Chains A and B, each alone.
Chain A
Amino acid sequence: MASIDQVADGFTAPPCANAVAEDNSGERASWFQVAPLVLVLLLFFGLPMLVVLAVSFFDFSRTEIVPAFIFDNYIELFRSEVTLRLYASSLKFALIVWAVTLVLGFNIAYFLVFHVRGLLFQIGLFLLCTVPFLTSNIIRMISWIPFLGRNGIFNQALQGAGITSRPLEFLLFSDFAVIVAYVHLFTLFMVVPIFNSMARIDKSLLEAARDAGAGRFRVVAEVVWPLSRTGIALGSIFVVTLVMGDSFVVRTMSGGQSASVVSALQNEVAALQYPPAAASAVIMVIIVTLMVAGILRVVDVRKELAG
């Protein structure tokens, strides 16, 4: 928990830095200012999550949920072999996508911060990377269909170049397509925090390392990488939670052949089996929280955000 406290301090430190000790009226003003946001989040996030927790202990019939306090939903969940397979599938996607987006995100941020000259050009290229984030995820996802399909552009090109004689079948509606879509959708979440971390690195540190005889790769490995760890941690949290929580990409891009924990949960909801779905959600939240806590344990975010 301590490390989460430190993140909070790190985030709030800059706005508070020049605040002097204020009297009660200042605190009361802050309460009035933050209250609307907190109320909305309590009503539409805090309360609903408590309801999910409560319903996970409920009983249910074919048409309705019955208030109760039973552990059947959890017992069923842990007994089922499917559960383990679903988690293995979700974790596999999260791990692969995390590794790919980390490599891509780190290098893109590095290029933007240390190679691009001119602030306007830098902002322009940064916007070029972030604009797709503000457009529809579903459309960006289905835009891979004409590329990866059996008669898609990729297969046409491969056959045209004489590399393959028959179309590759594994491109669309497969795990491969799911990973391509995830990387396409989520790399931005890695680029932006790492970019922010790197932009704060004092360039003279790099020169000093170079003057001291460090080669290009040692400068990256021993100066840039450690100083970008905050961004890497925040980006990792985004990517891991987004992949673990997804159901739409895995459904569409695997053509129903793969599943994730959340896509299975969505099926239960569609069948009006709310209590088992709620139990599954509770377990998932615990696991995702542990993963986030693990990332925060590796990286002392506060020390680096404050510095």
Chain B
Amino acid sequence: MHGDDARPWTFYAFAAFFTLFVLFLYGPMIVIYILSFQGPHGGMTFPLNGVSLHWFEALVSQTRVGDIAGSFIRSISLAAIVSALTVMLAVLAGLAFRRRFRGSAFAFYLTIASLIMPGLFVGLGIALTFRLLGLPTEWYTTALGAQLTWTLPFGLLIMFAVLGRFNRAYEEAAIDLGATNWQKVKEVTLPILLPGIIGVALFGFTLSYDEIARTALAAGAKNTLPLEIWAMTTNVTSPTLYAVGAVTTVVSFAVIVLALGSIAIVQRRRAAASARTE
């Protein structure tokens, strides 16, 4: 293995290609964060006409950009609820699929169909259903349900991946040592699955927080943040648009860092614990 450690030329070609791809992914995003600090008389593109927080202030002070603050609070609350429900339902369902049971194929198809169904159709269906039932659409009822049809499939697929690597010997050992079923789940199963569960929570939160296709027709009178931003794209032609983009991305990144950090801490504790016992 040490003899042929020299990189082939293709490595450098691929590395250059990969770097370009990462630039393609992040470059435009970074540009709009820079442009969000545009001076008060600057436009939608370079050059920067001074540096200011003008467009961030405009977010809260200008009423014509819409209800950014209100929609932001709604989106955060909704994302938290969706995330919690996704964790509970997807983890439970993931455990169910470890056994063969009648109807497992149906549950599986239903989940996959829900995942690949064009989002707008789901929203349309929910809006029509509630309309026919004479019920109002609200962000905390219909939009919540619409978003769950998107986050639950992701949650279940993550659980499949996590449980695929799960060694059942630990659970059997717990039973052999006299643990009750509940003790087994609480003391053995869930702690082992914790990093995956944090992953499900992360997906649940961020997918909900940014969701638009399913939510658009199901949100009712009060917009979520992505819908508010979507409305802005048609009638706001100032760097305010970039400012709101910068703010919402900072929130997403904070959630991602929090989740990945927690996973890293769990793994480190685990490594430390296994080192102690050896």
Task: Point out residues on A near B: beta carbons under 8 Å.
Answer: 4-5, 7-8, 11-12, 14-16, 18-19, 22, 26-27, 29-34, 36-38, 40-49, 51-52, 55, 65, 104, 107-108, 110-112, 115, 125, 127-129, 131-132, 134-140, 142-147, 149, 151-153, 156, 184, 187, 216, 237-238, 241, 244-248, 252, 262, 265-266, 269, 274, 277-278, 281, 284-285, 288, 292
CA distance A34 to B97 in the complex (A): 8
B124 interface neighbour in A40, A52, A238, Cβ under 8 Å: A52
Q: Which listed residue, A30, A41, A252, touches B114 by the CB 8 Å rule?
A: A41
* A136→B44 contact, CB < 8 A: no
Residues of A within 8 A of B94 (CB): 15
B92→A36 contact, CB < 8 A: yes
Q: What would 8 A/B residue contacts be, using CB atoms closer than 8 Å?
A: A8-B108, A15-B163, A22-B100, A29-B99, A42-B110, A48-B124, A131-B253, A262-B120
Is the CB–CB distance between B21 and A30 below 8 Å?
A: no
Across the two chains, which residue of chain A brings its CB closest to B27?
Answer: A147
The reply to whether B92 and A129 contact each other, CB–CB distance below 8 Å, is no
Interface residues of B in 61-118 (CB under 8 A from A): 85, 88-90, 92-114, 116-118
Produce 1/0 per residue, B31-56, CB < 8 A to A.
Answer: 11001000000001110000000000
Nearest A residue (CB) for B111: A41
Query: In the bound complex, do residue A37 and residue B111 qualify as a contact, i.e. CB atoms below 8 Å apart?
Result: yes
Let me know if B221 is at the binding interface, CB within 8 A: no
B110 in contact with A127 (CB, 8 Å): no
Chain A residues with CB under 8 Å of B116's CB are 237-238, 241, 288, 292
Count A/B pairs, Cβ under 8 Å: 279
* A19–B105 touching, CB < 8 Å: no
Whether the pair A41, B32 counts as a contact (CB closer than 8 A) is no
Interface: B180 (CB within 8 A): no
Residues in A whose Cβ lies below 8 Å from that of B129:
47-48, 51
A8 CB to nearest B CB, Å = 5
B149 adjacent to chain A (CB < 8 Å): yes
Q: Separation in Å of the B142 CB from the closest CB of chain A?
A: 8
The 3 closest A-B pairs by CB, nearest first: A245-B118, A48-B125, A14-B164
Are B45 and A146 interface neighbours, CB within 8 A? Answer: yes
Docked complex Cα distance between A277 and B124 (Å): 9
Say yes or no: A30-B252 contact (C-beta < 8 A), given A15-B163, A44-B148, A55-B128.
Answer: no
Check if B46 sits within 8 Å of A265, measured CB to CB.
no
Residues of B within 8 A of A52 (CB): 121, 124-125, 128
Contact A45 B100 (CB under 8 A): no
Residues of chain B within 8 A of A153, CB atoms compared: 31, 45-46
Task: Determine the residue in chain A with the shortest Cβ distance to B8.
Answer: A216
Q: What 18 additional pairs, Cβ within 8 angstroms, besides A45-B122, A265-B124?
A: A8-B109, A11-B157, A14-B160, A22-B99, A27-B99, A27-B101, A29-B99, A33-B96, A37-B152, A44-B126, A52-B128, A132-B29, A134-B207, A137-B226, A142-B245, A153-B46, A281-B121, A288-B116
